[in-house]
């Protein structure tokens, strides 16, 4: 896919419009802490929109470096579905914080396939639904995480970094771009060579997540989420 070509700009426009819409819907439903029919239908839709694509991809075009669910975005849709279904604090926090990395993938995608290939649709369905879920839960419903959830997210993310790095070393893959930067270019190009760009990315992301926590903490207190 050509970055910022038509097949990139159209999903970006859909992403922006959908983002505004889900926040508006969430704000109208504030005060209802328990998951409702909409939330659980959305959770099912997230799984239904991603699992079939991934199953078909594994069965028809399996590549050890692409098809396995080891990218953080693959885990993000799973926790997003759980967060929508349960409103569990940790699941909501993971969806909220990990959506930042998903936004980066939306803005600077590393995607070798073009419209109308299967992986093109799978990529955009997965990434847009995760960010929309995060915006709906945290900014719409006001189920924003606090510092305890921030710490849990840091710990779980570092565990993923360790596991994905170990798999990359054994299988000679590049899940999470932890072994090398995307060939198409990304913000990682500004952070120096490996492994320093990985260290720098972790530090920067942890700092941005901390800022996100500070910004949403007052919102969290106002809606009575503890």
Counted residue by residue, the chain has a size of 226
Instruction: Give me the pLDDT at residue 218, please.
Output: 55
**Residue whose structure tokens are 């990529």:** 123
- Predicted confidence band at 34 (pLDDT cuts at 50, 70, 90)? confident
Indicate the SS3 state at residue 35: coil
What's the pLDDT at 222? 46
How does pLDDT run across 116-164, given as a tens digit for each residue?
Answer: 887 788 788 888 988 999 999 999 998 989 999 999 999 999 999 999 9
Listed in sequence order, the residues at least 6 apart from 121 whose beta carbon sits closer than 8 Å to its beta carbon are 53
Confidence bin at 219 (pLDDT 50/70/90): low
- Higher pLDDT: 221 or 12? It is 12
Closest Cα to residue 58, out of 50, 66, 71, 67?
67
pLDDT in tens, 169-213: 999 999 988 999 877 667 788 888 999 999 999 999 999 999 999
CA separation, residue 78 to residues 1, 18, 191, 210, 219 (Å): 25, 20, 29, 23, 26
Q: What is the pLDDT of residue 2?
A: 76
The pLDDT tens digits of the residues spanning 47-102 come to 988 888 888 878 888 889 888 888 888 899 999 999 999 999 999 999 999 988 88
Is the peptide bond preceding residue 116 cis, with omega within 30 degrees of 0?
yes
Segment 99-106 shows an average pLDDT of: 82
For residues 96 and 213, what is the distance between their CA atoms, to the nearest angstrom?
10
Instruction: Band the pLDDT of 221: cuts 50, 70, 90.
Output: very low
Res 39: pLDDT:
93
In this structure, the number of other CB atoms found within 10 A of the CB of residue 35 comes to 18
Q: How far apart are CA 149 and CA 83, in angstroms?
A: 13
Residue 224 above 60 pLDDT? no
Tell me the three state secondary structure of residue 82: helix
Asked if residue 223 has pLDDT above 60, the reply is no
The CA distance from 97 to 115, in Å, is 29
Q: How far apart are the first and last CA of the chain?
A: 43
29 CB burial (10 A radius; 0-12, 13-18, 19+): middle
CA distance 196 to 199: 5
| Alpha helices (H) along the chain | 6-28, 37-61, 72-86, 89-107, 118-134, 147-171, 196-222
pTM: 0.86
């Amino acid at each position: 896919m050509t970055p910022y070509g038509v097949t990139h700009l159209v999903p970006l426009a859909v992403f922006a419009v959908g983002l505004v819409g889900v926040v508006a819907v969430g704000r109208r439903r504030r005060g209802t802490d328990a998951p409702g029919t909409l939330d659980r239908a959305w959770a099912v839709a997230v799984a239904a929109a991603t699992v079939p694509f991934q199953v078909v991809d594994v069965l028809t075009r399996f590549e050890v470096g692409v098809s396995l669910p080891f990218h953080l975005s693959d885990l993000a849709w799973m926790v997003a579905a759980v967060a929508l279904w349960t409103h569990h604090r940790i699941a909501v926090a993971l969806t909220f914080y990990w959506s930042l990395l998903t936004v980066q993938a939306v803005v600077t995608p590393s995607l070798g396939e073009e419209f109308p290939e299967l992986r093109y649709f799978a990529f955009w369905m997965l990434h847009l639904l995760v960010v929309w879920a995060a915006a709906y839960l945290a900014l719409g419903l006001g189920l924003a995480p606090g510092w305890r959830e921030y710490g849990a997210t840091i710990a779980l993310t570092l565990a993923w970094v360790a596991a994905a790095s170990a798999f990359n070393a054994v299988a000679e893959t590049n899940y999470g771009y932890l072994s090398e930067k995307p060939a198409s270019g990304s913000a990682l190009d500004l952070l120096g060579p490996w492994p320093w760009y990985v260290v720098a990315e972790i530090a920067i992301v942890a700092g941005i997540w901390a800022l996100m926590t500070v910004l949403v903490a007052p919102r969290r207190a106002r809606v009575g989420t503890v």
